[in-house]
Amino acid sequence: MVNKQHVAAPEGVHTLRDPDSGLEGLIVLHSTALGPAAGGCRLLHYQDASLMRADAFRLAEGMSYKNALAGRYITAEDVGTSVEDMQAVSEKTRFVAGLPSNSDGPGGDPSPWTAQGVFVSMETLVRRHLSKDLSDCVVAVQGLGHVGHSLARMLHQAGARMIVADVSEQNVRRAVAETGAAVVSAEQILSVEADVLAPCALGAIFDETSIGTIRARIICGAANNQLATPDDGARLARRGILYAPDYVVNAGGIINVAGEYFGWTEKDTQRRIADTGNRLIRVLDHASATGVAPNQAADELARAKIAAGSSLFLADSAL
| Predicted pLDDT at 66 | 53
Determine the length of the chain: 319
pLDDT reported for residue 180: 97
Please tell me the predicted confidence (pLDDT) of residue 1.
Answer: 37
* Rg, Å, the chain Cα set: 18
For 191, residues 6+ apart whose C-beta sits below 8 A from its C-beta are 213, 214, 215
Q: Are strands 23-29 and 12-18 parallel, antiparallel or unpaired?
A: antiparallel
Q: Exposure of 189 by Cβ count < 10 A (0-12 exposed, 13-18 middle, 19+ buried)?
A: buried
Question: Can you give the pLDDT at residue 76?
Answer: 65
319 residues of the chain, pLDDT tens digit each: 344 444 457 777 878 888 888 888 887 876 665 555 666 677 778 888 888 888 777 777 766 665 532 264 456 666 667 778 878 877 887 767 667 766 666 667 788 999 999 999 999 999 999 999 999 999 999 999 999 999 999 999 999 999 999 999 999 999 999 999 999 999 999 999 999 999 999 889 999 999 999 999 999 999 999 999 999 999 999 999 999 999 999 999 888 887 887 788 889 989 999 999 999 999 999 999 999 999 999 989 888 877 776 444 444 444 4
pLDDT at 310: 44
Name the pTM for this structure: 0.75
